[in-house]
Amino acid sequence: MRSSPALRAAASRHRIHPALDSFADECRDAVLRVMAYVGALALIGLIVSYTANPLTDAAITAATTAEAGPGWSVATRSQPAYALSQLDGPGKTETTEILRHPDGGRKDILRVATPGEPVGAEIEIYRVGSETSRATAEAALAARIDPGGTATIETAGTIDTKFGPVALFSLAGSDRPAGSCLGFVKAIDAASLRISGFSCRGDTAPQRRTAVACLLDRLVLLSGDAATAAAFAQAELRRASCGPNQSAASAASADWLTGPQDPSLRGRL
């Protein structure tokens, strides 16, 4: 009579040397320990990355809500209405934070940074409701560029973007860490929008101005009302290319009326 498969498997196991059987058990235990060790390291790495990354730090959310003023709260269930068409460097991430006010106001805040580094650029699209704000756009901009600081803000010329001329601002005093950042404010009255933010990219003034222009030109609308859609559709007709050669082109074509530096005289005296 032929034996069943279970009996044959049991007989085969009894023929394995006890030393080999023990070695197999030790290998299995070692693999399980290594997997548990690697999993613990991965968990620690995620925790460190979360706490070190300024884009995911809960302190930013708290500071943003406090700076926005009373009545503003984070809208976790709202869908983003804006995005950047492309990021201008490898390894950069974009996050969106949405604040809402009971009186109809909404703020979409887009931040761009390399993980583990401070925010390199921020843009806020504020759809104005019936709420009142005591702080001016310039004062709020200074607080966002230099959180906790007491720096004053000063004008830094204007640039041409797809939204038209945009006023630039910088912090007074070049010794400040945020002294190389440029802020901007643009109001679109037809859509009750105010676009503001800052960029800290670029080593020279023309490069920083170009970085702000590219940030604004890459802003796209995902959803919105008819007035906002019309404003962005009109702006897209003026959209420029943010290629690698735009910095040099912008520096060469900068108008002396809108540049932050003193104009260069032409011809002979």
Q: How far apart are CA 4 and CA 140, in angstroms?
A: 81
* pTM across the whole model: 0.65
| Residue 138: strand, helix, or coil | helix
Q: How far apart are CA 88 and CA 242, in angstroms?
A: 9
Token duo for residue 215 = 């940030």
Q: What is the pLDDT of residues 114-154, one digit of tens each?
A: 877 888 899 999 998 888 766 677 778 888 887 766 667 88
Order the strands of the 106-113 sheet from edge to edge.
73-74, 93-100, 106-113, 121-127, 193-199, 182-188, 164-171, 153-161
Q: What is the pLDDT of residue 253?
A: 41
* Residues of the chain scoring pLDDT < 70: 1-25, 37-70, 87-91, 133-135, 148-151, 173-179, 241, 243-269
**DSSP string across 210-234:** HHHHHHHHTEEESS--HHHHHHHHH
Token duo for residue 69 = 């003023």
